[in-house]
Amino acid sequence: MDNIASQISSTERSSIAPMDPDHQGDPYKNLENTLFVLKKHSRIHPFPSFNQRLTLLTKLQHALLSYEEALLKALTSDYGQRAPEESRLIELIPALGEIKHAKRHLSHWMRSQSRRPHISIFPAKASVMYQPKGVVGIISPWNYPILLSLSPLVGALAAGNRVMLKASEFCPATNSVLRQLLEESLSEEWVAFVEGEVEVANAFSQLPFDHLLFTGSTQVGKQVMANAAQHLTPVTLELGGKSPVIVSPSANPKTAAESILFGKLINAGQTCVAPDYILCHRQQKPALIHHMKQTLARMYPNGIDSPDYTCLINEKQMSRLTGYLDEIEQQQICYENLMPQGPKWKENKLALHLLHQPDEQLKVMQEEIFGPILPLLLYNDLSEAIAYINVRPRPLATYLFSQNTKEHREVETGMVCGGLVINQTLLHVAQADLPFGGIGESGMGMYHAIEGFHTFSHTKAVLHKKRPNMIRLLMPPYKKHIHKLLKRYWRFL
């Protein structure tokens, strides 16, 4: 750190202003200065060694373990109610798993790949190396403020980058702990933690990063991409959309009901890959609803008053969801509260409501629900369900419940989505060796596993020409023998 600081001239140092915590000054200028310092470090040490990267990941791992209780308390504070067991399950354990997976495979990921140069330039050696891009910007959301901050951070650090992390303003308590965790484990040479509201996030996405990853809504993702385009900054967009569940005639309705409710009500449905709506085979509907009611009564015996039922993050989200229900009542759409053991809603808690065959023009069928409302549509043939999904924006996740391998294959090959899970929901996100990402309106690019390492790396071709250099025989002036040689080579190709 001292060596780097000494290489920054006095003129340059005077132009570097500290971050204004109250954002009273120009937020873009403050962010720009922070980026300038990180880029300085990146240019001086453009290729951190394996040991340096491993050390960073290990420090982050130890800090996450030591701050476990503080993070759990902060999450409960920000949400109002969120069971520590749930936060540990959906945030801390997957984040820790990502760190350990990256450490285990880092040496392999960093290894250059040999390629075969064409015989025409023999003797030569060809390879592909994975170069750190430089400084990566990460914009994380409020719904999983720890996991969706640390998971891309792990990939970026493993790839040898510096990082600017913009956290959501809706989780101030979690941000305070996360900032302390990062400052203690990773110096300012590697990570800068940024907070602020909409104007700061907008300025952040306009910075000339070497790569930018955004997690959030499709609408905001479009604006982030437009901002990044000013500098031709490559982007990874982790968005959302409407992730469907298909319940086939061969499905076990009890297993399907339990798995759907697990995915739908973890974090009160505030998950980008939460089941958004069900496409249920007509003959399965009665059994599915029966098992859903039984499962809910077991999971939450006091309804939304149960201590394990998570709050919505704020009143804005509650108002949005109750607005969907108001529109449904006005349109006289049939719906039911599947949790009669307690109130339908109170404070920032909303019971799970099942909508029966809702009209396609309703907002709840046009927008990502992101909460405990679950539309149920009926179909007669699996091809009908696949066609329904295929004419809509490509989903971030699709869930199929089926015991028929032919149906598995039909869904695997018959539609395009970010990820497919058969006979379960959500669990693919927590698999450290599987890539995660959307396609189309559900996202662009991916991270996690080796694919995340590649996302944050520049794949650089390296060609080493050895002696003798026969290419000089093909240089101008082009004589008759060169013409014949090239004609023969053309026929050979």
Q: Are 285 and 376 in contact (CB under 8 A)?
A: yes
- As to burial, measured by CB atoms within 10 angstroms (0-12 exposed, 13-18 middle, 19+ buried), residue 59 is middle
363 backbone dihedrals φ, ψ, rounded to 5°: -60, -35
Task: Look at the block and give the residue holding tokens 């995915």.
Answer: 263
Q: Which of 227-245 are b and which e, b meaning 16 or more Cβ less than 10 Å from the residue's Cβ?
A: bbeeeebbbbbbbbbbbbb
Q: Closest by alpha carbon to 177, among 99, 66, 23?
A: 66
Measured from the Cβ of residue 319, the count of other Cβ atoms closer than 10 Å reads 11
Nearest-angstrom CA–CA distance, 375 and 379: 13
N-to-C CA span, the chain = 55
Tell whether the torsion through CA atoms of 256, 260, 266 and 272 is positive or negative: positive
Residues in the chain, total: 493
Point out the catalytic residue in the list 86, 171, 258, 272: 272
- As to burial, measured by CB atoms within 10 angstroms (0-12 exposed, 13-18 middle, 19+ buried), residue 268 is buried
Nearest-angstrom CA–CA distance, 198 and 196: 7
Q: Closest by alpha carbon to 111, among 129, 138, 96, 87?
A: 129
Task: Look at the block and give the residue holding tokens 């140069």.
Answer: 117
84, HSE (Cβ side, Cα atoms, 13 Å): 7
DSSP state of 419: E
Amino acid identity at 463:
L
Has 272 been annotated as catalytic? Answer: yes
**Helix (H/G/I), strand (E/B), else coil: 265:** helix
**Helix (H/G/I), strand (E/B), else coil: 436:** strand
Point out the catalytic residue in the list 91, 238, 258, 441: 238
- Residue 426, both tokens: 């959500």
Nearest-angstrom CA–CA distance, 236 and 205: 12
> Active-site residue numbers?
238, 272
